[in-house]
């Protein structure tokens, strides 16, 4: 984080609420599940900040530790990195004040350097790596590589943010179109992007003509997810913006080995994103008091379900949902899916021969076309 970012932690920005809500909702079920593995849990925040904003709202270190203290106390260790001493000192005081010093280790230094050291100390720990840098760089693929390369017997999950306006600035598409790609500053910035994405495939996307910025951003994140998926096969992303009519500020991206992470984060991201957009768009207006879920459309979900069951007959309701989320991440909620499946069975558009005491389905009921 650079010297010009001194006001970043004055108060939580509206768009920051989305990522913090996702983290806050995800940590309890994640910790409860991985604790069953019986291995020590390591939580890493590469760009931690002071832990508490000046408006007294909590940042990621406090969010993570509160969940860990409640659910896995005594079986976790947290490393929180800050480059700025004033943030490091404030976070250290917050940790000490809460009595967490035995489990939490604030570190002062450059995240890019310290994150190269941490993987060398890893054995069989369960690792959760959270990276939320202020700008477009800070998540170089080389930093992720040692975590991605860990033995698949050991649980590793990554949650990070990718700043989109900064990516466009570094790509300098218009300058490249003017033939200035050999200028030293542009070459340097292009090298930064190649380091972030772990290859120069970004050039075919960000420098492409004839498409709008948001289309290029979405394609780039999909390509980046595909690269992550070579190592951690379950990935997803959530756009973050100030309002529905404003540009994407960043994407939250996750990578995991477990399908449960995908379905949990699907619901948490849908709820955080659409609830925030509803509030931003309608506060002070006629629709302010309406439930955002009542205003969203799930048209086509019944067709999606039937198509997936047609392709994979005899799979359970749970398995069909995994497949739908993987293909339509952040499009539907699990509760919506469950309700539509029940309706389709009641209408005999699907059948489930699984024995059960009532007409209600459960996640283990298998589904077929009639």
- The residue from 240, 265, 282 where one domain ends is 282
SS3 assignment, position 105: strand
- In this prediction the pTM is 0.92
Give the distance between the most distant pair of CA atoms in the chain. Answer: 72
Residues 260 and 323 in one domain: no
Residues 24 and 49 in one domain: yes
C-alpha pair distances (Å), 342 with each of 5, 212, 355: 51, 40, 15
Residues 266 and 311 in one domain: no
For the chain, give the percent of residues with pLDDT over 90: 81
Residues 255 and 348 in one domain: no
Residues 202 and 253 in one domain: yes
Question: What CATH number does the domain containing 218 carry?
Answer: 3.40.50.150
Query: 80-90: string of b/e by CB count within 10 Å (b at 16+)?
Result: bbbbbeebbeb
Average pLDDT over the chain reads 92
Residues 343 and 300 in one domain: yes
pLDDT in tens, 329-370: 999 999 999 999 999 999 999 999 999 988 899 999 999 999
Domain of 165 in residue numbering reads as 3-282
Question: What CATH number does the domain containing 319 carry?
Answer: 1.10.10.10
Residues 45 and 160 in one domain: yes
- The residue from 242, 260, 282 where one domain ends is 282
Residues 306 and 346 in one domain: yes
- The residue from 263, 282, 301 where one domain ends is 282
Q: How many domains does the chain have?
A: 2
Residues 267 and 301 in one domain: no
pLDDT in tens, 211-261: 889 999 999 999 999 999 999 999 999 999 988 888 999 999 999 999 999
pLDDT in tens, 302-340: 999 999 999 999 999 999 999 999 999 999 999 999 999
Measured distance CA(167)–CA(253) in Å, rounded: 15
**Choice among 93-97, 135-139, 163-167 with the minimum mean pLDDT:** 135-139
């Amino acid at each position: 984080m650079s010297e010009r970012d001194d006001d970043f932690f004055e108060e939580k920005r509206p768009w920051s609420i989305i990522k913090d809500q996702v983290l806050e909702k995800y940590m309890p079920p994640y910790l409860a599940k991985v604790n069953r593995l019986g291995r020590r849990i390591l939580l890493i925040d590469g760009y931690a900040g002071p832990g508490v904003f000046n408006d007294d709202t909590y940042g990621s270190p406090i969010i993570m530790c509160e969940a860990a203290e409640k659910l896995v106390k005594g079986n976790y260790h947290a490393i929180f990195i800050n480059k700025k001493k004033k943030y490091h000192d404030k976070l250290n005081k917050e940790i000490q004040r809460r009595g967490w010093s035995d489990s939490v280790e604030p570190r002062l230094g450059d995240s890019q350097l310290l994150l190269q050291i941490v993987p060398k100390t890893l054995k069989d720990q369960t690792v959760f790596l959270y990276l939320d840098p202020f700008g477009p760089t800070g998540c170089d693929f080389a930093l992720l590589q040692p975590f991605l390369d860990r033995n698949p017997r050991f649980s590793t999950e990554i949650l990070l943010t990718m700043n989109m306006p900064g990516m466009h600035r570094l790509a300098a598409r218009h300058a490249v179109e003017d033939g200035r790609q050999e200028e030293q500053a542009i070459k340097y910035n292009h090298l930064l992007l190649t380091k972030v994405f772990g290859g120069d495939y970004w050039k075919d996307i960000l420098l492409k003509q004839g498409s709008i910025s948001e289309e290029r951003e979405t394609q780039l994140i999909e390509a980046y997810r595909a690269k992550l998926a070579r190592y951690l096969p379950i990935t997803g992303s959530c756009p973050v913006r100030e309002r529905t009519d404003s540009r994407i500020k960043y994407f939250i991206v996750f990578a995991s080995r477990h399908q449960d992470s995908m379905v949990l984060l699907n619901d948490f991201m849908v709820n955080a994103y659409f609830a925030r957009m509803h509030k931003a768009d309608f506060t002070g207006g006629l629709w302010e008091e309406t439930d955002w879920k009542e205003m969203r459309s799930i048209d086509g979900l019944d067709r999606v379900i039937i198509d997936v069951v047609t392709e994979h007959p005899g799979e359970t309701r749970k398995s069909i949902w995994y497949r739908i989320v993987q293909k339509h991440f952040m499009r539907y909620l699990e509760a919506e899916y469950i309700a539509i499946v029940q309706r389709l069975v009641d209408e005999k558009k699907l059948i489930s021969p699984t024995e059960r005491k009532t007409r209600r389905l459960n996640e283990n009921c298998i589904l077929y076309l009639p």
